[in-house]
């Protein structure tokens, strides 16, 4: 049962597991809150008050589990800023599980192509393109897009140095 | 067995679950989501198909639409259940309602999970301070 370092990796593998076993896979979100410091029961009241000042600590663990194969994919975080993104991921996975996979993918593809076209039209030295959109654009208009892609790559390398 | 709540009831119950957790300053909120394929007419679990066949069918045929079951619980143990401390909520979300549901779900979760660490802004503040100092010197 691996813990993934990045939530994107977790999302990717979860969606694969979900595609393989849509009926049995479940996604669990566990939000746990505990005092930052545990006080013993027989501790002095002063110390208890001091420990209470330290506040609480929250943890969030998301698990994708398939009981049939026993696969369990986990991601753990304690950052509040990630909650929104993670719930969005849960929503995407739920849409796939509900049988809305095809629609969503089509919509995404269309968006990608549109974005690629827009970028190519705006400037010859385009921003670095995503792997998905690049080839499609090249097929449509070979000379322009090829030059744009090359320019973009060169620029990117310069930026890295 | 408890019945499924409507979405409104589910959200109010879930936020009260989060607030009780906040006031007691400890505890767990456990949320589960899965595809809902249970039908009372066929009490036995889904027919056990051979592995290769099921894999092939999953690849070739698109998934029939089904609602998503969302569960929430405070994960109290069996002793807590006897004392009536265990809270179990569940709701069904139809495929068409998923987007609207998850927008509200994200709001409730963001508000409820306040025990997590806020974004660390100390580094940015330090940079700004340094910049101001530079300006003052110049």
**pLDDT the model gives residue A131:** 46
How many Å apart are CA A21 and CA A97, to the nearest integer?
9
| pLDDT exceeds 80 at position B114 | yes
In this structure, the strands spanning A71-77 and B88-93 are unpaired
Question: Is A108 exposed, middle or buried (CB count within 10 Å of its CB: 0-12, 13-18, 19+)?
Answer: exposed
| Closest CA relative to residue A10, chosen from A60, A64, A59 | A64
Model pLDDT, residue A13: 93
Are A120 and A126 a contacting pair, CB within 8 Å? yes
Q: Which residues of A touch B112 (CB under 8 A)?
A: 31
Q: What is the pLDDT of residue A126?
A: 44
Asked if residue B98 has pLDDT above 50, the reply is yes
- Please report the pLDDT score of residue A114 as a whole number: 54
Q: Hey, where are the domains in chain A? A: 3-99, 107-147
Q: Which of B58, B75, B113 sits opposite A80 (nearest CB)?
A: B113
Arithmetic mean of pLDDT over chain B: 82
Q: The complex's ipTM?
A: 0.76
| B88 has pLDDT over 80 | yes
Of B21, B30, B95, the CB nearest to A98: B95
Classify each residue of B78-108 as buried b or exposed e, where b means 16 or more C-beta atoms within 10 Å of its C-beta.
eeeeeeeeebebbbbbebeebeebbeebbeb
Ordered per-residue pLDDT tens for chain A, 161 residues:
689 999 999 999 999 999 999 889 999 999 999 887 777 777 777 877 777 777 788 999 999 999 999 999 999 999 999 999 999 999 999 998 888 755 545 555 555 555 555 444 444 444 444 444 444 444 444 444 444 444 444 444 554 44
Give the minimum alpha-carbon distance from A158 to chain B in angstroms, rounded to a whole number.
26
Q: Tally A–B CB contacts below 8 A.
A: 135
Q: What is the mean pLDDT of residues B77-101?
A: 87
Stronger pLDDT, B135 or A148, i.e. the higher one: B135
Give me the residue spans of the domains in chain B.
7-137
Phi, then psi, of B28 in degrees rounded to 5: -130, 145
Predicted pLDDT of residue A10? 94
A33 and B67: CB-CB below 8 Å? no
Q: Do B113 and A58 touch (CB under 8 A)?
A: yes
Residue among B26, B33, B109 whose CB faces A26 most closely: B33
Question: What token pair was written down for B63?
Answer: 């998934």
Partner B contacted by A102 (CB < 8 A): yes
Domain B7-137 has CATH 3.30.720.10: yes
C-alpha to C-alpha distance for A19 and A31, rounded to whole angstroms: 26
Nearest CA in chain A to B109: A83
Please name the member of B33, B65, B66 whose beta carbon is closest to the beta carbon of A27.
B33
pLDDT at position A101 is 53
Burial of A27: CB neighbours in 10 Å, binned 0-12, 13-18, 19+: buried
**Chain centre to alpha carbon of residue A133:** 20
Contact B13, A76 (CB under 8 A): no
The residues in A 111-150 lying below 8 A from B, measured between CB atoms, are none
Rounded to whole angstroms, the Cα distance separating A142 from B7 reads 51
Chain B residue closest in CA terms to A23:
B35
Q: Which residues of B33-52 are buried (b: 16+ CB within 10 A; e: fewer)?
A: bbbbeeeeeeeeeeeeeeee
Give chain B positions within 8 Å (CB) of A70.
none
Question: In chain A, whose CA is at the least distance from the CA of B48?
Answer: A68
Q: Chain B contacts of A58, Cβ < 8 Å?
A: 113-117
Chain A CB contacts of B109 under 8 Å are: 29, 31, 83, 87
Nearest-angstrom CA–CA distance, B22 and B18: 6
Calculated CA dihedral for residues A14, A20, A24, A27, nearest 10 degrees: 10
Residue B9 has phi, psi (to 5 degrees) of: -60, -40
Yes or no: say if A51 and A35 are a contact pair by the CB < 8 Å rule: yes
Domain A3-99 part of CATH 3.40.640.10: no
Query: Token digits for A116?
Result: 């690629």
């Amino acid at each position: 049962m691996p813990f993934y370092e990045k939530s994107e990796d977790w999302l990717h593998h979860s969606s694969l597991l979900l595609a393989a076993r849509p009926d049995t896979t479940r996604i669990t979100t566990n939000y746990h809150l505990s005092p930052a410091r545990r006080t013993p029961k027989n501790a002095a009241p002063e110390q208890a008050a001091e420990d209470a000042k330290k506040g609480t600590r929250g943890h969030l663990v998301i698990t994708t589990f398939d009981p049939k194969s026993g696969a369990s994919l986990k991601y753990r975080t304690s950052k509040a800023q990630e909650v929104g993104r993670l719930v969005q991921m849960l929503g995407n996975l739920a849409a796939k599980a509900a049988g809305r996979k095809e629609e969503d993918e089509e919509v995404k593809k269309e968006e990608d192509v549109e974005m690629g076209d827009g970028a190519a039209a705006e400037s010859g030295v385009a921003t670095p393109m995503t792997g998905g959109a690049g080839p499609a654009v090249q097929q449509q208009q070979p000379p322009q897009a090829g030059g744009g892609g090359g320019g973009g790559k060169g620029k990117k390398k310069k930026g890295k140095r | 067995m408890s019945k499924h709540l409507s979405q409104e009831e589910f959200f109010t119950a879930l936020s009260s679950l989060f607030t009780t957790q906040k006031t007691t300053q400890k505890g767990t909120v456990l949320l589960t989501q899965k595809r809902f394929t249970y039908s009372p007419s066929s009490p036995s679990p889904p027919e056990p198909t051979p592995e290769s066949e099921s894999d092939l069918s999953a690849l070739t045929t698109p998934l029939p639409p089904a609602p998503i079951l969302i569960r929430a619980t405070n994960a109290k143990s069996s002793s807590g259940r006897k004392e009536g401390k265990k809270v179990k909520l569940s709701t069904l979300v139809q495929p068409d309602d998923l987007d609207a549901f998850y927008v509200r779900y994200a709001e409730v979760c963001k508000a409820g999970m306040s025990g997590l660490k806020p974004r660390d802004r100390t580094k940015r503040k330090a940079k700004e301070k340094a910049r101001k100092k530079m300006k003052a010197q110049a």
